[in-house]
Amino acid sequence: MLTAPAKINLGLCIHKKRDDGYHEIKTLFQAVNLYDTLEMNPGSKGIELLVEGEAIPTDKKNIVWKAAQLFLSRLDSPTGVQILLKKRIPVAAGLGGGSSDAAATLKGLTRLFNLPLPHKNLLEMGKQLGADVPFFLFGNSALGEGIGTRLISTPALSKAWVVIANPGFPISTKWTYSNISIDLLLTKKTDHINMLRLFLGKNDLPKIGRHLHNDLEAVVIRRYPVINELKKRLISGGALGAVMSGSGASVFGIFNDRLLAEQVFDSIRKENTRWKIFLTEPLK
């Protein structure tokens, strides 16, 4: 069985829109111990994908299917694979679940078919599948530049607990980025990314909490004010800081006290049964 972790973005800053339609960004990725799982077996022909836990496509619309197709196309002889994907990470939630599943698929197929590819080859395949996929092939913490695929190792968030709150509905990454205003791109900002890197190196959790930042929050909160509600709820519960992850809709808060994190987790979980709440720890 393979595990595919979720990620949070401790910082996400948008710099400009590129000619290819993507945006230049800087972001700090951190994996957490919230997992999807995958089971794989050789098949006689083609790709058979089964999914438990979420009503998502099981054909070529699914990034796991695409990852399997991309890998199998590199084999010398035609073969197939059966994949069972068990979803726990919410879909379209800013937590990178699909990208992580795709990365796990590539890694799993190299083992299943005993075809160890050079790491740079896996990263190139990941880039073809999506901007977040290379991170999940790279490690558990990284600075992402360009469209997020140029990766640099960074210290991991440590000795912290992370409460993730998802309002129970998906948000399209395409919608979020397409609604970025020119004002956002022109506004001078505090360099949260470098401040976060500095304080991650010192493991200064209070200062990390103060510099959690996501340029996309303003875009999403205008349409979905519940994002701000979740942020305030985490902070009022004692989080050192809280911010939306990725393009939304999940929000996370970081804590330096496990008992307090557990209390907030239990409290928010009871407040609204539609919300999906997770108590996690960063992966090192």
Catalytic residue among 7, 66, 87, 107: 7
**What values do phi and psi take at 191, rounded to 5?**
-80, 75
> Please, are residues 128 and 70 in contact by the beta-carbon 8 Å criterion?
yes
CA–CA distance, 254 with 2 (Å, rounded to integer): 27
Structure tokens at 150: 């140029």
Catalytic residue among 36, 101, 132, 215: 132
Taking CA atoms, 13 is separated from 53, 150, 178, 211, in Å, by: 32, 15, 15, 12
> Please, are residues 106 and 261 in contact by the beta-carbon 8 Å criterion?
no
> Please, are residues 182 and 262 in contact by the beta-carbon 8 Å criterion?
no
Known catalytic residue at 270: no
For residue 3, what are the β-bridge partners? 37
Known catalytic residue at 191: no
Residues in contact with 194: Cβ distance below 8 Å, sequence separation at least 6, in sequence order: none
| Beta-sheet strands, E only, within the chain | 2-17, 23-43, 46-52, 80-86, 141-146, 150-153, 161-166, 213-214, 241-244, 251-255, 276-280
- The catalytic residues are 7, 132
